[in-house]
Structure 1
Amino acid sequence: MKKRMIPLLFTVLVLVLGGCMGPSEGTTFSRSLLKKPWEEVVKQAKGTDIRLYMWGGDESINRYIDEWAAPRLKKQYGVKLERVPVSDTQDIINKLLTEKQAGKNKGTVDLIWINGENFHTAKEQKLLWGAFADRIPNVKRYVNRETPDIRLDFGEETQGLEVPWGKAQFVFIYDRNKVKNPPKSMAELKEWVRNHPGKFTYPAPPDFTGSAFVRQALFETTGGHKQYVRGMEDERFNRKAEKLWAYLNDLEPYLWREGKTYPESLAKLDQLYANGEVWMTMGYDAARAAGEIRKGRFPESTRTFVLDQGTLSNTHYLSIPFNAPNPAGAMVATHFLLSPDAQLTKMDPDHWGEDMALDPERLSKEDQARLKNMDRGEAILPSDKLAKHRIPEVPASVVNQLEKGWKSHVAKK
């Protein structure tokens, strides 16, 4: 999903006003749901409608919601789900900030697909309804919320304000007919690029994928990711990052178009790969290559790889805003979307293809067999291999430091 911070001027204005904002009137009664038996929540939700606001830029994801999830939610629980597409999650945050400032205690958003910088802002500005994760039976039953990649959302404690919905992992995508031995480290990637000039590049930050690639390089050139998990003050970060800028500048002459220009988006990089101009692309979706093959956009020989030291992973979440008109329906919808059937179906590349948020060891034997026997195609790495190579994301502050530094030390060189 897309994650960009709200415009600076608007953020400053809201931060100034935000100190005067307490919990909204009209939410206290709805939060009483957190103390009611689950059966009462289900009863209250029956026959109601909810609106799920989410990034709408992927056809497969949209179909999963509209054609698979929504009809089953309506049949099982009597809750009608309407998907409301947005181009960027920050637009939802802007909407909620405006409504809170105006004292609008009953909004139009029941459920949000959210993570990263947008969750940080929503939590900081008290835009979320409450700590509801412990009240969702399927979360308690199937999710291990103590693992760092679920408990922390880009370094931010979730505190039950959001429920994990799925996992994404950064992978490199390549054409095996052209790349016989994919690199296993950033050092090997540098060597490969030098030996194949013009056949590799990455999107220019602040493109989300380009920024993720730069984070990968940061970790391997400066001694690992753990030192950044809680953020780092600027002076120390700048000293550490000197090795990163040297690495990226050493790559530059051997990149596509000699590094004089970079693709401005992942879509542009994918097009270069599809046309054969470059032999690798990348992305924060372990199943994306398989989807692009099925659509006929990538060659059948497309495969994916991860690095030996691991690749970035993050969890994305569902959350209920502070002025949701139907929190009961939102809770029931979240429970349904965290069911093994919904999660395993979402994992199938014929639907969405991404990894589930559930702990496989907590599944029934039947569901574990379903997971084991799922054919996701050769272009998707096995789930156990992906899991062994996951490293957690870093706080938004580190992302901002990197994107600012890349402009100064790489783009302007």
Structure 2
Amino acid sequence: MKKFIPFFLLAILFLTACSETSTNNKDWTEASWEEIEAAAEGTEVRLYMWGGDEGINAYIDDYVAPQLDDQYGVSLKRVPLDTPEILQKLQTEKQANKQDGSIDVIWINGENFKNAKENELLMGSFTEVLPNFNDYYNTEDPAFQTDFGTKVEGMEAPWGKVQFVFHYDSEKITNPPATFEELQTWVAENPGKFTYPTAEEFTGNAFLRHVLYAQAEKPSDIYEQSLEENNITPTAERTWSYLNEMENDLWRSGEHYPNSLTELDRLYSQGEVWMTMGYNESRAESLIEEGVFPESTRSFVMEPGSIGNTHFLSIPFNSPNQPGALAAINFMLSPEAQLEKYKPDDWGENTPISFDQLPEDIKEEFKAVERGESVLSTEELEESFLPESEAAYVDWMKEQWFNEVVQK
């Protein structure tokens, strides 16, 4: 027993020391911002995010990382990984009771946020502690309260806002369709010049949900309602009828649907199809600049509207550097970082920031940004904006489209 006591005391001291150096054993949402900044200085923050867009990657690597180092003394490491794989990694760490994980910040929204929240993979509510969020954002904006129908409850901070648009070659199409009915007519008159990605792909699924909205009595019948198949059966039947009637006039007569937006963009750039599509109303600008898309590329939206959503940054339950994560997110929400992201050079996406809450000089800088000829006006985008439906529609669409369209 006498030999056991010193060992026992040493074990207690060791565990105490470990708990004192682990940042996630402290509730940092109760700390002052000065304390958070001090704890973040000199640390590394690992940002896990989808890495499939070189413009987005350049924005993080060439602007955000150097600025974080200069302003906070924080070293940002970007780790490219698809979001479902990130969540699987967190789930594995949770099952192993790994309290000091390997991820500090994740880029997330929609179904992935729903899954992360339901499986308790996130740190919890943190946005109230972020100065930039509270100073420059309309914190009561409905777009920040729910994410594809899932209550946010401060567990993710709004990083960007995008809307779905269609792109077309204005040298080949004089007047793009104004409605989905007109699109069907256009496809019939121009066989082989239109297609859309598979429902398994994010962009293709969004296109199909646009069709669903268009076939409803009104779009709010979908986005304001939880998914109940019995209630949407008439709308669903009109949707499958619309898609099946169009199929024979699609590229390759609908025998193959692009598996990715990259594949659809390539078909468009080669002139095989005359339209492409996607979230981010300004994404064509960098592709035009790179010579991928023709300079005559323009964009349009159709009635009843354009689905838009907000994407977010969040902190895992076991982030080993919570102060650093908070500092990094706060910077990425700053007017300066949002302004840089708004410029078309790299990313060029819209911002969730509130212009009414900006200082006049920065407000004028935003107004001075030329987003490019292919980008619709802010007024047109706002007028056409439609909210996302709840996340359950995404999986439902994957399954039903395959059964009702592909196998028919």
Unaligned runs of at least 5 residues, structure 1: 1-24
CA distance in 1, matches of 2:104, 2:198: 35
Question: Which region of structure 1 is more displaced relative to structure 2, 132-141 or 303-312?
Answer: 303-312
Q: Secondary structure at the match of 2:340?
A: helix
CA distance in 1, matches of 2:109, 2:319: 18
Report 1:116-135 matches (<5 A).
Answer: 116-135=110-129
Q: Secondary structure at the match of 2:309?
A: strand
CA distance in 1, matches of 2:135, 2:256: 49
Q: Does 1:348 align with 2:343?
A: yes
CA distance in 1, matches of 2:171, 2:247: 25
Select the structure of larger CA radius of gyration.
2
Q: Does 1:264 align with 2:263?
A: no
Match of 1:362 in 2: 357
Paired-residue identity, % = 48
Match of 1:15 in 2: none
* Structure 2 counterpart of 1:318, one-letter code: L
Query: Do the aligned residues in 2 keep the contact of 1:355 with 1:383 (CA within 8 Å)?
Result: no
Kindly state the Cα deviation for residue 175 of structure 1 after the two structures are TM-superposed.
0.3
Report 1:70-149 matches (<5 A).
Answer: 70-86=65-81, 88-149=82-143
CA distance in 2, matches of 1:231, 1:219: 14
TM-score, normalised to structure 1, is 0.91
> Which one of the candidate residues 192, 201, 207 is aligned to 2:195?
201
Query: Do the aligned residues in 2 keep the contact of 1:148 with 1:392 (CA within 8 Å)?
Result: no
* Structure 2 counterpart of 1:148, one-letter code: P
Aligned length: 388
CA distance in 1, matches of 2:349, 2:341: 7
Match of 1:331 in 2: 326
Q: Secondary structure at the match of 2:38?
A: helix
Match of 1:218 in 2: 212
Instruction: Give deviations 1:210-242, integer Å, cap 9, x for gaps.
Output: 111100000011123322234221222333200
CA distance in 2, matches of 1:226, 1:158: 20
Decide whether aligned partners of structure 1 residues 356 and 226 sit closer, same or farther in structure 2, where only a CA change above 3 A counts: same
> Which one of the candidate residues 279, 285, 290 is aligned to 1:295?
290
Unaligned runs of at least 5 residues, structure 2: 1-18
User: CA-atom RMSD, angstroms?
Assistant: 1.5
Match of 1:154 in 2: 148
* Structure 2 counterpart of 1:181, one-letter code: N
Instruction: Give deviations 1:266-318, integer Å, cap 9, x for gaps.
Output: 11111111111111010112111111101101110001111232111111110
Q: Does 1:179 align with 2:166?
A: no
Match of 1:33 in 2: 28
Instruction: Give deviations 1:37-69, integer Å, cap 9, x for gaps.
Output: 111111111111110011111111111111111
Match of 2:6 in 1: none
Match of 2:8 in 1: none
CA distance in 1, matches of 2:292, 2:181: 30
Match of 1:249 in 2: 244
Decide whether aligned partners of structure 1 residues 163 and 359 sit closer, same or farther in structure 2, where only a CA change above 3 A counts: same
TM-score, normalised to structure 2, is 0.92
Query: Do the aligned residues in 2 keep the contact of 1:30 with 1:327 (CA within 8 Å)?
Result: no
Kindly state the Cα deviation for residue 253 of structure 1 after the two structures are TM-superposed.
1.7
